[in-house]
Structure 1
Amino acid sequence: MVFGVIGREGVSSQIYTATLAGLRVLENGGNAFDAAIAVSSVLSIVLPYTGGIGGDGFLLAKTGNNEIIAYNGSGRSSSIFPIDKFILEKPERGPLTITVPGLVDLWDWVWENYGSKDPVEILKYAISLAENGFYVSEQLDKAIRSSYNYLQQYNTWKSTYGAYSLGDIVRLPRYARVLKIISRRGFREFYEGKLAEEIIEKLRNQGVPITYEDFSTHRGEPVNPLKTNYKDYTLFELPPNTQGITTLELLKLIEYLGINTKPYDNIERIMEFFKLAIIAYDDRDKYVADPSHYVFNPYKLLSRDYLVNRIKEFTSGRNNKLTSMDTTFFVTSDRYGNIVGFIQSIFYPFGSGIVVENIPFQNRAIGFTPEKNHPNGPAPRKRPKHTLSILLAENDKETYIIGCAGGDLRPQIHSIVFTNIVDYNMSLAKAIHAPRYIVTKYHGRRIQRAIIEKSLGISPVNENIEIIDALSSSVGNVQAIKAYKEGYYNLAADLRGGGVALAHN
């Protein structure tokens, strides 16, 4: 049996140290937004391969005043981004893959608009861990070992993280120094001023084509979340440049076709789910891009006529491999009625491989489609298509926020967990831990690889379906919250990623 936790405020994150930090902020009078910054900063230290201040972040939340708020904290490519070189080389790591990191800007916006505690107090847990040391967890040990062959060529990564293994004590004094500076001088110090100059110089010394102005002019932005319905729930997701539209499209396809009227372990239902996911991903790869460079109406993809025709007439020559990259998502809640979904990432484990001041920098530029005339093609000062997204769903009785580590797989994971709740009457914890089924590779309509957790109890119908171990980390790592109208919360953490949920009254 699996259970969530219930209380009037709480936190669910991927590791206990981050959950504890957020809970302490709440216990000391902070709100869910203060706790979110604390959790985010601790995750940046103890799980540096998943996210951090060298990467991006997004927020989707509901305030105690019943306001849905969203923020796009993703960075842009440099003003001197070498387009031709990038298209020619198609790098997956290294200096050409770095975009301006947006996470600290997100902290700044959250604190300026909703924070109640001093940043020195909020960041003290992360600073202490970075300065005094923390033990290498199983998650971090696995990430170092699996990444070593790819990243040992980057001396700054190798000297910072490459020699550590399970149980070793890691100290990151340069990271601690950066956090101290921004806690005292303000979050914008990361983008403007002497600290920013130091970071940019060290990035440029490692071949990163970036300028001070790229940092100093960076701002994320509040955005209007996309909105649709599923049964009696109103759904919200992050708009482009994220793939949030893909989750909503997949859920509408499921609803229109009615596949979730079949039993949960019905193989025909699961095969139909794979085919609908392929349609949604095909549209994602055609249309999702930085809206300041390419304008389209995402609600087109949610209209009944469009989706019915897509089901009937779907054709594509696209060959696509979907991957689950390292990210971390968490939720916080407080006694004031605020619930916060927060996701951060440096994309691949340890991102680009470039490390400055103990900070791994993201390789998010590989989110660009390496074609000049594509909506998502690379360009200076442009945001790439982003895999990060968050699902919020509510009706008259309850509100859910669901998020995960999952890379390209995220729309499928969000859809599965949500329909587990709504269509199969599972509790929050059961919905998270129920067996998953994910398509990971396809060509046109043809499924080339899909994976199903063996706990579902079904046999593969062809050689392209692989049965994998139950609770496998390869099918994502979910954190979620259910908020009741009566003012208390149910939080749950996925055993697939070692997550911990805690709550109190």
Structure 2
Amino acid sequence: MPTAAGRRVVASQNYVASYVGAKILEQGGNAFDAAIAVSATLSVVIPHTSGLGGDGLLLAKTPEGIIAINSTGWAPKNIGEDKIDPRSPRSIVIPGLVELWHAMEDYTTMSLDRLLEPAIKLAVNGFHVGRGLHHAIVNSEKLSQDWQSLYGGKRFGDRIRVRGVGEVLRSVARDPRSFYEGEVAEKLVEGLRKRGVPVELDDFREFRAERVELLKTNYKGYTVYEFPPNTQGITTLQILRMVEMTGINKLPYNDVKRVNEHVRISALAYEDRDQYVADPRFHPLPAFLLDNNYLTQRLMEVGMEAKVNQDGDTTFFTVADEENKVGFIQSLFQPFGSGIVVNDIVFNNRGDNFTEGRNKPEGRKRPLHTLSILYAEGRDDELIIGCAGGDLRPQIHSEVLEYYVDYMMEIDEAVNAPRFMFTGNKVVAESRLGTPSTKLEPFSPQVGIVQALKTKRDLHIAVADPRSEGVSLPV
């Protein structure tokens, strides 16, 4: 079921995880309870996208307001400043996902032991390989020997057990900080060090999730929020601002001119991302990046004209109950991250996102991060949009929102609509868009896998992208 409506809903990229979340809601848990259960289940059944060795972000709208938590990991203090190879031991940063669950306990109503029980059973007793995991395994045959012993040669429908993950989850269920300090953390650090990761126990012990204030801008009657740096959320907001300033969406969505100009706008926003976005504890974000005068100047540089008066972007899921709306995104970065495995836990390679300049590798620094979540409110409705999409996330977020706002599509239609992407050296598009480009399948995961939530009055509409094996379920 790609779309579900109700007072309690869940939508994720995997049918098992959606089922687990729906059961928690059915048993009286709130959206935060269900989110932890879904997150843990995804960590087991689609380990190429996320897991205990990765990190995450949470965005929630509650009766008390917006909650935004950044639990993306920092580099070990001994990382050095040399260039990092994509899947090398130095590409691993401290995993933040378990710490995010810990930070969410202020809002949950059920015990962590109960919420992690489904994931523990799946890890210990085994789960069947889904389509997405099958394709990721087939395309990842050259990873570590530890990885090969777990996933090598597995195909769709095969059964996998990750008992080490289950053991760690049992410890986390008693105390989530056990992942970062104590016997579990000591074993993980020892295992990582044996595999060449320059990590110390203090790098784990001192890591904490961080409450953050979201960035925001206005877009055609909506207030649109995104995560601040170290994430690339600012890039989505820049794209939307320049789209509105140029008026390109007065053209049909599949008009070649509209697609070409959208690509030029995206290229400008990515240039700014690569120059200015870094860990704000090291380099604060310049205040001018959403200023109309600055964006007008940027548009003029590529021969585009602003037409308004100048005054003054993994796996994502969403859950909602009668009071709370939650967007949750978690990641290892590339499929199976670094490919380095300790205790059956696959560790991230998020450090590959370090570059140079403001974003160069430094100890206890978080790399520029591709994860983000979009929240928008206006016209009597609210939207949460998130996706698997890596560097393409700002374009995916903005295109889905534009379909909804500018082209008057319902939220499920906006998620299903054909997308195009600027990849840095070419434009790719789903074939049903009908524009000159590198043609993809009609529904291709290469343009992102989106989950979305729309709330209007007391009704939630949750959408799972048909480009994945995900489902949405009402309760």
State TM-score, norm by structure 2. 0.96
Is 1:343 aligned with 2:329? yes
Matched with 2:153 is: 163
Displacement of 1:64 in angstroms is 2.9
Task: Give 1:450's match in structure 2, choosing from 427, 432, 435.
Answer: 427
Q: AA paired with 1:328?
A: T
Q: Distance in 2 between matches of 1:452 and 1:122?
A: 40
Q: Secondary structure at the match of 1:352?
A: coil
Task: Give 1:78's match in structure 2, choosing from 76, 79, 97.
Answer: 76
Per-residue deviation, residues 421-458 of structure 1 (Å, max 9, x unmatched): 000000111100101111112xxxxxx31011111123
Task: Give 1:136's match in structure 2, choosing from 125, 129, 135.
Answer: 129
Is 1:256 aligned with 2:245? yes
Matched with 1:419 is: 402
Q: Secondary structure at the match of 2:326?
A: strand
Q: Secondary structure at the match of 1:400?
A: strand
Displacement of 1:296 in angstroms is 2.7
Q: Distance in 1 between matches of 2:285 and 2:102?
A: 30
Q: Is the 8 A contact 2:51 2:331 kept in 1?
A: yes
Identity %: 48
Matched with 1:468 is: 440
Matched with 2:320 is: 333
Q: Distance in 2 between matches of 1:161 and 1:328?
A: 19
Displacement of 1:395 in angstroms is 1.1
Q: Secondary structure at the match of 2:74?
A: coil
Task: Give 2:170's match in structure 1, choosing from 163, 169, 180.
Answer: 180
Q: Is the 8 A contact 2:2 2:470 kept in 1?
A: no
Q: Is the 8 A contact 1:400 1:481 kept in 2?
A: yes
Task: Give 1:488's match in structure 2, choosing from 445, 459, 469.
Answer: 459
Q: Secondary structure at the match of 1:219?
A: coil
Q: Secondary structure at the match of 1:379?
A: coil
Matched with 1:306 is: 294
Per-residue deviation, residues 152-178 of structure 1 (Å, max 9, x unmatched): xx1111112113112111111111010
Q: Secondary structure at the match of 1:411?
A: helix
Q: Is the 8 A contact 2:81 2:360 kept in 1?
A: no
Q: Distance in 2 between matches of 1:412 and 1:346?
A: 20
Task: Give 1:392's match in structure 2, choosing from 375, 380, 399.
Answer: 375
Q: Distance in 2 between matches of 1:167 and 1:3?
A: 22
Q: Is the 8 A contact 1:3 1:430 kept in 2?
A: no
Displacement of 1:94 in angstroms is 2.3
Task: Give 2:340's match in structure 1, choosing from 354, 371, 374.
Answer: 354
Displacement of 1:303 in angstroms is 1.0
Displacement of 1:82 in angstroms is 2.8
Aligned residues: 466
Q: Distance in 1 between matches of 2:302 and 2:418?
A: 28
Q: Distance in 1 between matches of 2:348 and 2:110?
A: 29
Per-residue deviation, residues 43-92 of structure 1 (Å, max 9, x unmatched): 00000010011011001110133x011011001000111323xx2xx411
Task: Give 1:193's match in structure 2, choosing from 172, 182, 199.
Answer: 182
Displacement of 1:220 in angstroms is 1.5
Q: Distance in 2 between matches of 1:416 and 1:406?
A: 13
Matched with 1:241 is: 230
Matched with 1:431 is: 414
Q: Distance in 2 between matches of 1:3 and 1:167?
A: 22
Matched with 1:109 is: 103
Matched with 2:27 is: 28
Q: Distance in 2 between matches of 1:247 and 1:171?
A: 39
Q: Distance in 1 between matches of 2:166 and 2:345?
A: 10
Displacement of 1:241 in angstroms is 0.2
Matched with 1:318 is: none
Matched with 1:100 is: 94
Q: Distance in 2 between matches of 1:56 and 1:314?
A: 37
Per-residue deviation, residues 133-154 of structure 1 (Å, max 9, x unmatched): 11111111110000113x1xx1
Describe how 1:343-382 pairs up with structure 2 within 5 A.
Answer: 343-369=329-355, 371=356, 374-382=357-365
Q: Is the 8 A contact 1:483 1:489 kept in 2?
A: yes
Q: Distance in 2 between matches of 1:351 and 1:309?
A: 39
Describe how 1:400-415 pairs up with structure 2 within 5 A.
Answer: 400-415=383-398
Q: AA paired with 1:450?
A: V
Q: AA paired with 1:267?
A: V
Per-residue deviation, residues 251-309 of structure 1 (Å, max 9, x unmatched): 00000000001111211000000000000000000000000011233x41111111011
List gaps (5 residues or longer) in structure 1. 316-324, 442-447
Describe how 1:62-73 pairs up with structure 2 within 5 A.
Answer: 62-65=61-64, 67-73=65-71
Q: Distance in 2 between matches of 1:134 and 1:274?
A: 41
Give the 3 Å change call, closer, same or farther, for CA 76–3 of structure 1 in structure 2. closer
State TM-score, norm by structure 1. 0.91
Displacement of 1:469 in angstroms is 1.5
Matched with 2:120 is: 127
Q: Secondary structure at the match of 1:33?
A: helix
Q: Distance in 1 between matches of 2:347 and 2:189?
A: 12
Displacement of 1:396 in angstroms is 4.6
Q: Distance in 1 between matches of 2:164 and 2:129?
A: 18
Matched with 2:198 is: 209
Q: Distance in 2 between matches of 1:22 and 1:64?
A: 21
Q: Secondary structure at the match of 2:364?
A: coil
Q: Distance in 1 between matches of 2:180 and 2:151?
A: 25
Q: Is the 8 A contact 1:9 1:489 kept in 2?
A: yes
Q: Distance in 2 between matches of 1:221 and 1:3?
A: 33
Q: Is the 8 A contact 2:2 2:466 kept in 1?
A: no
Q: Distance in 1 between matches of 2:415 and 2:115?
A: 30
Q: Is the 8 A contact 2:224 2:377 kept in 1?
A: yes
Q: Secondary structure at the match of 1:497?
A: coil
Q: Is the 8 A contact 1:75 1:102 kept in 2?
A: yes
Matched with 2:214 is: 225
Q: Secondary structure at the match of 2:463?
A: strand
Q: Is the 8 A contact 1:4 1:428 kept in 2?
A: no
Displacement of 1:195 in angstroms is 0.8
Q: Distance in 2 between matches of 1:457 and 1:204?
A: 51
Displacement of 1:314 in angstroms is 4.8
Q: AA paired with 2:187?
A: E
List gaps (5 residues or longer) in structure 2. 304-312
Q: Is the 8 A contact 1:246 1:281 kept in 2?
A: yes
Q: Distance in 2 between matches of 1:453 and 1:101?
A: 34
